[in-house]
Amino acid sequence: MIYVVVIALVTALVQLVLGMVGLGPMGGFATGVAALVLLPILAVIGSFIGAAILFVIWKLMGSEEDYETAYRCAAYAYGYAPVAALVSGIPYVGTLVQVLWPTALIALATIHVHGRKPALAWGVFGILGILAALSLLGTEIAARRIMSGLEDSARQMQHRYGDKEGESSPEEAGRAVKDLLEGLEKMERPGR
């Protein structure tokens, strides 16, 4: 558990530094400082839950190891987190690193610690890793599409209504809101 806390603190520090220079997903200094407190707590809670899930999977695979061994494997697999925090800002690559690296570590633990055959280990955790990666990549693609659409709508509204801060009439404001809602509807139904 101490290892998980140390890795979480290192990860939070990486996120804090990246957030301070504007490169990371963190929203600035205050959010980074909050991560220094919250991330270790969440990592410890997540490590116990993750170890329980892995324990059940390993038992279904025929492992004779106890929960403590499952926890140790899950905790040591968390060692990828600081590097994942470094590459998290790289589109798609960060997501793949965050999913596939720990999945590979868990598959290796399945082979070397739990004594399962490599084909079984890579089959089970390979499928789970690929499903998780596809799910997260789909989420990232959707989020990028939404952000792009919102940026396009903002540019169109600025072009159409100018940059008259505080000078728009109620009619212009109503048209701007209507245009924004129509733009959001178009993003929701891309093929139409």
Contact between 66 and 53 under an 8 Å Cβ cutoff? The reply is: no
Assigned domain for 151 exists: no
The DSSP 8-state label assigned to residue 121 in this structure reads H
* Within-domain flag for 153: no
Instruction: For residue 163, tell me if it sits in a domain.
Output: no
Q: What percent of the chain has pLDDT over 70?
A: 83
3-class DSSP string for 50-70: HHHHHHHHHHHCCCCCCHHHH
pLDDT digits (tens, 9 = 90+) for 41-71: 999 999 999 999 999 999 999 999 999 999 9
Confidence of residue 86 (pLDDT cuts 50, 70, 90): confident
Domain count, the chain: 1
pLDDT for 26: 47
In a domain, residue 98? The reply is yes
Residue 134 in domain: yes
* Spatial separation of the C-alpha atoms in residues 47 and 42, rounded to whole Å: 8
Contacts 24+ apart (CB under 8 A), 18-24: 18/85, 18/86, 18/89, 23/89, 24/85, 24/88, 24/89
89-108 average pLDDT score:
89
pTM (two decimals): 0.71
Establish if 28 belongs to a structural domain. Answer: yes
pLDDT of residue 16: 82
**Residue 24: is its pLDDT beyond 70?**
no
Residue 98 belongs to what domain range? 2-145
Does residue 50 lie in a domain region? yes
CB atoms within 10 A of CB 16: 21
Answer whether residue 179 is part of any domain. Answer: no
